[in-house]
Chain A
Amino acid sequence: MTSEVEINNPNKNKMARIMVVDDEKDILRVIKRDLEITNEFQVEVFSSGHDALSSFKNHELGYYDVIITDIRMPRMNGFELYRNIKEMRPDTKIAFITAFEINRDEFTKVLPSIDVKDFIIKPIDMNDLIFKIKSMLAI
């Protein structure tokens, strides 16, 4: 239903650009493929926080509609990336994906300063991921 509304919405007719950050290349490959196959999203993947941040800086504001990042990554982890991006553009929509055994309450407890709208536990059901990205775009 949502997808129909959005497809019919001329402003949103252009594909949403999604940034996906994860150090697992196999995961990036699967996510990129499964999102792009819907023809609703244009996906750019980065295997490190640094690469992702520099790309974010190198593009104009609002270039990425949604950012999805892993938490546990070498050198710059997902939280650091989140902070850096939020400092530049507080209204950027960011979601976390993690394989950690963690629930929403624990997440808020550990990081009360981070307003986490959504975090997604790996392994990801692609239908869930698509639904979550769409609801984030709708806000």
Chain B
Amino acid sequence: MISIVSSRNNIFLLILVIGVGISLSILSYHYSGLTADQIGEIASSDIRSNAIIETDGLSKTLLHIIDPVSTNLEILSKIVNYSNIDGTKLIMDEVQNSTKSLTEGYYWINEDGRIVSISNVNSSIIDSYSNIDLSNREYFVIPKETHASYYSSAIESIDKIPRLYISFPVMEQSDGEPVFKGVIVASIKIHELGRFLQSELAPQVAGNVGLMDKNGIIIYGSNPSLIGKYYLGEEFQSLVPEEIRGPYNSLLARSLQGSAGAEDLILDGGNKTTITYQPVYIGGKYLWTLFVSSPHQLAAEVGFLINNQKNFSTLMILIIGAVALGIAFLILSWNKRLESAVNSRTIELKDANNSLIKYNKLLESANEKLSIHDKMQKEFINIAAHELRTPIMPILGDAIFLEKQFEDGKEEVKVDKEQVSSIIRNAKRLKRLASDILDITKIESQSLKLNKERFNIRDIILSSISDIKTQLLSSNPEQLENLDIIYEPQDIFVFADKNRITQVIFNLLGNSVKFTEKGSINIEVKIERDVVKNIENVIISISDTGQGIDPDILPRLFTKFTSKSFEGTGLGLFISKSIINSHNGKIWATNDPNGGATFYFKIPQQ
């Protein structure tokens, strides 16, 4: 019972531990997920702000490298001297050397569009170019017409190399009027510019640089084939992934409005890329837009790492949970063992207690026996008192009556027979009682001695019948007439205490007579062989046709003070039983179905 209850508690505890473990895992997983998203977001915004700063810095760098070229061109445009071509060329060479990391060369073109000189190129090569007419080129036409500098888009020459051209007009004052005298052009290889910008980009950004002019023509990009192409053109659009085409195009459109910005594009698969754009103003004019695309590789990596961490944490929690579970299980099973030890101790205690209870019960029953014994003792005294006092009264009464008559001075007084008989009858009754009480005392002190001798059962039965009849004749002659005592005499010898066996037979016969007002009493003697003990037993039975034994009394028939008669002491059958037991015999009684009772006793013949 205890173990069932406790195991229920244990199961509850286990479920609690498992439940707490699972909810902790879920919470931690969820929290880790949130953290991963938050950290990813922080990383993304960091990347965005970094990209903005980077792009701003890059645009300044761009201006910074373009600026010397512009300055050189401006100076050259002012100092070129058609009368000193060689001298001017020396300056041009110097200028080229100062910007050679970016510029391919500086060209001097006259007002007819013919090359006058090229930096760092010898005169024979210059001569071979001199017949090329460049008067239709934008870098010639626009400065000629606007008298202002010109910054081209990406232009592909015959050698398929895209170039950027910057040109300044050469103006001469003639009569106060500026007169166009040709242009100074610097050519910049876009690849070089791109490579430069790319190299200037902080490696942490891990992005790509792009440059587009204000009209949406791509000046530089990571894909060289797109240089010089319009962003809404087929070549470009075909390379833009379809899922981001709309947002990408609108982003680019916004970027061409001359202001800076940074926007995220989410690619298929969830990867983010931040596109930062920054307008580039040269000489106060909006010319290009610089792009830096920064894939959120880091953020993704952070997310990935956190995810890993999350998985690891979850795994750890699961492992810790499992270990905790194991420990809990161990503790519980240990507890259970302890409990079972306690239980077994409890059972031992219970056993001890039970045996105590048993001893108590034994004591109680002993006490009960004692109190029964007390009660019996009291009953014995009571009955003994009654039986002793009752016969004394008539004896004393008659004796006192007679004595009183002598008081009158008489010498002789008249005594009638009834007075004498009464005195004798009652005195005998006292004698009988005295003898019974003596027998009981002997039996109870276990000093009932048997004087065994060989005698004929027939003799004692006949004498008992005779005594009973004599007794009845004086006390109840009417009953004697109505009662038939049947016995067929038969010589059977037995080795026993003659007086005691006679006492038993007389007692049993007396009982039968007492309860058989009329009818018959049948005495039988048989010999029976006890095969087990290998002895002969004598069985004597006395059956009557009387009222039978009261069923209430039957179980305690042979105990002390059991009597349905109001004359007896209730000691006769107890004494008889004790006598027969002393002979190693047995005494018992049965009620006959047709009425009446039979008393039996058997004793060994020898």
Q: Decide whether A and B are members of one complex.
A: yes
> Are A123 and B396 in contact, CB atoms less than 8 angstroms apart?
yes
The distance in angstroms between the C-alpha atoms of A122 and B387, with both chains bound, is 11
The distance in angstroms between the C-alpha atoms of A31 and B390, with both chains bound, is 13
Interface-forming stretch among A7-15, A20-28, A60-68, A87-95? A20-28
> Are B397 and A30 in contact, CB atoms less than 8 angstroms apart?
yes
Interface flag for B385 (CB, 8 Å)? yes
Q: Fill in one digit per residue for B390-417: 1 if any A CB lies within 8 Å of its CB, else 0.
A: 1111101110110000000000000000
Q: Answer whether A100 and B393 are a contact pair too, CB < 8 Å, given A26-B422, A74-B566.
A: no
The distance in angstroms between the C-alpha atoms of A52 and B401, with both chains bound, is 26
Interface of B (DSSP majority class): helix
Residue of A nearest to B390 (CB): A99
> Are A30 and B394 in contact, CB atoms less than 8 angstroms apart?
yes
Instruction: Determine how close the nearest CB of chain A comes to the CB of B369; give it in whole angstroms.
Output: 23
Most chain B Cβ neighbours within 10 Å, of A73, A101, A102, A121: A101
- Given A122-B389, A126-B400, 9 more pairs with CB closer than 8 A: A24-B393, A27-B390, A72-B386, A98-B386, A99-B385, A99-B387, A122-B390, A123-B393, A123-B397
Q: Fill in one digit per residue for A79-120: 1 if any B CB lies within 8 Å of its CB, else 0.
A: 000000000000000000011111000000000000000000
The distance in angstroms between the C-alpha atoms of A72 and B383, with both chains bound, is 10
Most chain A Cβ neighbours within 10 Å, of B382, B388, B394, B396: B394
The distance in angstroms between the C-alpha atoms of A115 and B190, with both chains bound, is 146
What are 7 residue pairs bridging A and B, where the CB atoms are less than 8 Å apart in the complex?
A26-B391, A27-B394, A29-B422, A30-B394, A101-B385, A123-B392, A126-B397
The distance in angstroms between the C-alpha atoms of A73 and B382, with both chains bound, is 15
Q: Answer whether A100 and B386 are a contact pair too, CB < 8 Å, given A26-B394, A123-B392, A124-B393.
A: yes
The distance in angstroms between the C-alpha atoms of A99 and B381, with both chains bound, is 11
Instruction: Determine how close the nearest CB of chain A comes to the CB of B430; give it in whole angstroms.
Output: 12
Interface flag for A6 (CB, 8 Å)? no
Most chain B Cβ neighbours within 10 Å, of A73, A123, A126: A123
Number of A-B contacts (CB under 8 A): 60
Instruction: Determine how close the nearest CB of chain A comes to the CB of B412; give it in whole angstroms.
Output: 19
Counting from the closest, the 10 A-B pairs by CB-CB distance are A30-B397, A26-B394, A99-B389, A123-B393, A101-B385, A99-B386, A74-B566, A122-B389, A26-B422, A123-B392
The distance in angstroms between the C-alpha atoms of A74 and B515, with both chains bound, is 13
Q: Which residues of chain B from 348 to 367 have any CB-CB distance to chain A below 8 Å in the complex?
A: none
Interface flag for B426 (CB, 8 Å)? yes
Interface flag for A34 (CB, 8 Å)? yes
- B393 in complex: contacting residue of A73, A101, A102, A122, CB < 8 Å: A122
Residue of B nearest to A102 (CB): B382
- A34 in complex: contacting residue of B392, B397, B426, CB < 8 Å: B397
Instruction: Determine how close the nearest CB of chain B comes to the CB of A75; give it in whole angstroms.
Output: 9
> Are A101 and B397 in contact, CB atoms less than 8 angstroms apart?
no
The distance in angstroms between the C-alpha atoms of A126 and B389, with both chains bound, is 15
Number of interface residues of B (CB under 8 A): 22
Residues of A within 8 A of B387 (CB): 99
> Are A123 and B389 in contact, CB atoms less than 8 angstroms apart?
yes
Interface flag for B418 (CB, 8 Å)? yes
Interface flag for B147 (CB, 8 Å)? no
The distance in angstroms between the C-alpha atoms of A26 and B392, with both chains bound, is 10
Q: Answer whether A101 and B382 are a contact pair too, CB < 8 Å, given A24-B394, A27-B390.
A: yes
Residues of B within 8 A of A72 (CB): 386, 566
Interface flag for B425 (CB, 8 Å)? yes
Interface flag for A57 (CB, 8 Å)? no
Residues of A within 8 A of B386 (CB): 72, 98-101
Q: Answer whether A100 and B394 are a contact pair too, CB < 8 Å, given A26-B425, A29-B418.
A: no
> Are B381 and A101 in contact, CB atoms less than 8 angstroms apart?
yes
> Are A27 and B385 in contact, CB atoms less than 8 angstroms apart?
no
Residue of B nearest to A74 (CB): B566
The distance in angstroms between the C-alpha atoms of A34 and B404, with both chains bound, is 11
Residue of B nearest to A121 (CB): B389
Residues of A within 8 A of B425 (CB): 26
Instruction: Determine how close the nearest CB of chain A comes to the CB of B364; give it in whole angstroms.
Output: 25
Q: Fill in one digit per residue for B205-228: 1 if any A CB lies within 8 Å of its CB, else 0.
A: 000000000000000000000000
Instruction: Determine how close the nearest CB of chain A comes to the CB of B25; give it in whole angstroms.
Output: 82
Q: Which residues of chain B from 100 to 126 have any CB-CB distance to chain A below 8 Å in the complex?
A: none
The distance in angstroms between the C-alpha atoms of A27 and B386, with both chains bound, is 13
Q: Fill in one digit per residue for B10-36: 1 if any A CB lies within 8 Å of its CB, else 0.
A: 000000000000000000000000000
> Are B426 and A26 in contact, CB atoms less than 8 angstroms apart?
yes
Q: Answer whether A73 and B401 are a contact pair too, CB < 8 Å, given A27-B394, A101-B382.
A: no
